[in-house]
Amino acid sequence: MATTISAAPALDVGAVRAQFPILRTRVNGKPLVYLDSAASAQKPEPVIEAEARFYRESYANVHRGVHTLSQRATGAYEAARERVARFLGAPDSSEVIFTRSATEGLNLVAWCFARPRLQPGDEVLLTEMEHHSNIVPWQMVCEATGAKLVVAPVDERGELRMDELARLLSPKTRVVALVHVSNALGTINPVAEVSRLAHAAGAAVVVDGAQAAPHLPIDVQALGCDFYTFSGHKVYGPTGIGALWGRKELLAAMPPWQGGGDMILHVSFAKTDYAPPPARFEAGTPHIVGAVGLAAALDWLESLPREAVAAHEHDLLAYATESLGAIPGVRLIGTARHKASVLSFLVEGVHAHDVGTILDSEGVAVRAGHHCAQPLMERFGIAATARASFAVYNTREEVEVLAAAVRKAQRLFA
């Protein structure tokens, strides 16, 4: 079942859709039904225009220029950092580091926070539902340090086994890294409770928020985590930009991620003194326009009535769950009680890739494969699923097109 949302005013979905030019596209002669927002969300006009306007009117490199355009660009870039801090409920914008993506944020924490602290015999605790980007970096630092990777299981519904997670925590646990919302299941994890348990065991908590950021209000202080990262392209912003939040005292104690310009105080051939965070972790020319676009995306997202958006997305997920669940031969993967707008499914006798191809012939865009969550697929004894993911711009009518296309796939392979 999906998360229950309290009554909220209706969302004007038509007005929202009108802001997305790509939704007027036709695919294979059919109106586009874009149900792949968990992979990457489409972009509204305010984001497209913010980036274009910055290129037209304000573009220059940031921070060290004394001329007007450089100062204007620097102001926009740092204002974007402050915007991200507000979005995350961060107490200080200096705790926000711009990255290329949530993936880069997770790698930064693994290599700059965890690796210097891990020793042979230490443990890093993950969950069975992690994306590869929250598995592979930890494997790499464990291999480099002699630490051990420990995995908390999920149950048949795709819910985290909190009893097992609590049992696996020990004085050896140095880091607990988990996804806020599963990209393959839609499961919403109880991050605040995990943080409480992990901190009681002396471990730091790292959260992959890529899938949560578009759907849930984020407050890193209430969540109690130590690091939180997300990607811009999933919150209706540009690709190639993301953000990592970390507690100030932890960031200040971490070595740099990369070397280069803007992350230094002084350089000589004998010694380099590093700048304090966030500059310490932003070597080289950053994705300036991406940061501006990300700020515009967050402004746009939070200009919507968030309760109405949550109710709308909940309704879409519930309607799709009912519609696909009623089709004989369709198996839903991930039925957690608390879910975001992701619906993974199998069609009996039809490979997930074939499902995706047939749906595309009907104009329906879904993701098909292991969703960069191969260990989770193995846990359910499957190789791949088809995944429909819903965003603020989707409609019930599109859910009906999805269900009809799934039935067509069944007929073609009958």
The three state secondary structure string of 45-61 is HHHHHHHHHHHHHCCCC
Instruction: List, in sequence order, every beta strand (DSSP E) within 209-321.
Output: 227-231, 242-246, 264-267, 272-274
Q: Is the pTM of the predicted complex or chain greater than 0.85? A: yes
Catalytic, out of 112, 142, 225, 372: 372
Tokens of 350: 């039809």
The answer to whether residue 372 is catalytic is yes
Catalogue all structural domains in the chain, each as residue range(s) with its CATH number.
13-44+305-412 (3.90.1150.10), 48-302 (3.40.640.10)
pLDDT in tens, the chain (414 residues): 444 444 556 799 999 999 999 999 999 999 999 999 999 999 999 999 999 999 999 999 999 889 999 999 999 999 999 999 999 999 999 999 999 999 999 999 999 999 999 999 999 999 999 999 999 999 999 999 999 999 999 999 999 999 999 999 999 999 999 999 999 999 999 999 999 999 999 999 999 999 999 999 999 999 999 999 999 999 999 999 999 999 999 999 999 999 999 899 999 999 999 999 999 999 999 999 999 999 999 999 999 999 999 999 999 999 999 999 999 999 999 999 999 999 999 999 999 999 999 999 999 999 999 999 999 999 999 999 999 999 999 999 999 999 999 999 999 997
